[in-house]
């Protein structure tokens, strides 16, 4: 189900498309996460220099597959923690973070900047956003996703 179709794009760097294309081509399910979802909710994406990274959610069960694909495609892993993998995009050296969704008692848990978030699994379904013709999954409803914090 496409939820957002008329997002105004002020600026969106090539690294977003680079990583989305990679994930789609290798068949890894993902959702756009944190900062970009806040911009989608506002209806304007302005990927300026203040927004230092792009976060994607990946199921923790795909962590090994993701790591192998990144290595096979010559991405340098900058940081690896049990809850995320961070790389630099090839197109613009931008920091990309793959934040893992851990299955826990019917919820998904993830961490970011020392904060633990707990979300009902239902937030990570088939809702999508059209960004310059590229359909990407987003947690839905966005307001509910953005408010969850332990």
Instruction: Encode pLDDT of 16-30 as tens digits.
Output: 999 999 999 999 999
pLDDT tens digit sequence for 18-68: 999 999 999 999 999 988 999 999 889 987 766 678 999 999 999 999 999
Whether the CA torsion 91, 13, 30, 62 is positive or negative: it is positive
Q: Which of 130, 127, 111 is nearest to 45 (CA)?
A: 130
The residue with greater pLDDT, 135 or 57, is 57
Indicate the domain borders of the chain: 2-147
String of b and e for 29-39 (b: at least 16 CB within 10 Å)? ebbbbbbbbeb
CATH number of 2-147: 3.30.460.40
- Report the SS3 class of residue 75: coil
Query: To the nearest whole number, what is the mean pLDDT of the chain?
Result: 91
**Average pLDDT for residues 67-85, to the nearest whole number?**
96
Among 3, 1, 19, CA closest to 97: 19
Q: What per-residue confidence (pLDDT) applies to 4?
A: 66
């Amino acid at each position: 189900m496409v939820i957002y179709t008329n997002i105004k794009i002020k600026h969106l760097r090539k690294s977003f498309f680079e990583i989305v294309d990679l994930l789609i081509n290798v068949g890894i399910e993902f959702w756009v996460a944190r900062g970009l979802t806040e911009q989608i909710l506002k209806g304007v994406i302005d990927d300026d220099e203040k927004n230092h990274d792009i976060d994607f959610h990946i199921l923790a069960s795909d962590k090994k597959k993701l790591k192998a694909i990144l290595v096979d495609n010559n991405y340098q892993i900058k940081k690896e923690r049990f809850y995320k993998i961070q790389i630099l995009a090839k197109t613009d050296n931008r920091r990309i973070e793959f934040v893992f969704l851990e299955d826990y008692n019917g919820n998904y848990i993830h961490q970011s900047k020392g904060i633990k978030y707990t979300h009902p699994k239902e937030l990570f379904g088939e809702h999508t956003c059209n960004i310059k013709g590229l359909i990407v999954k987003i947690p839905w409803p966005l307001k509910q996703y953005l408010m969850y914090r332990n």
